Amino acid sequence: MVGIPCLRAGEPEFVSSGDPDTAPVIAVVDDDEDVRTAMGDLLMSLGYSARMFETADAFLLSDRQPHINCVISDVQMPGTNGLQLARLMRLAKVPIILITAFPTPEIERQAEGAKVRKLLVKPFDSRDLIAELDLLRL
């Protein structure tokens, strides 16, 4: 499994993949490079193909959007945040898992209203994420 930088000008996307022909594709949207890398490594170890995006706006502008089976996004990011992304993705019926280091009742309420599949609190146990992905049966 290899990580390949996307070379299109102006698109800060990083692509890492498992078997591109058969693996379900999960988008990881987080402004923290260390989180993206760790999440990508975890997803690849589970047999998923991971597409990395530094911002929600980069994801929304990507031509890879139609090929995504699930989105895992941080809540707090510059520009479009994870909750806004979840609301925008609701019509696409793509499952959204949000992660946050700062859970509040308001964030929980908004996540529920946006039909977020799961809200994980950082630091979270990777087994919780794995269990949620297993429930999705991607």
Tens of pLDDT, residue by residue over 56-111, are 999 999 987 778 999 999 999 999 999 999 999 988 889 999 999 999 999 999 99
User: What digits encode the pLDDT tens for the residues 20-45?
Assistant: 678 999 999 999 999 999 999 999 99
Q: For residues 104 and 114, what is the distance between their CA atoms, to the nearest angstrom?
A: 15
Domain-wise residue ranges, the chain: 12-136
d(CA 43, CA 50): 7
Q: Does domain 12-136 have CATH number 3.40.50.150?
A: no
Q: What is the CA radius of gyration of the chain?
A: 14
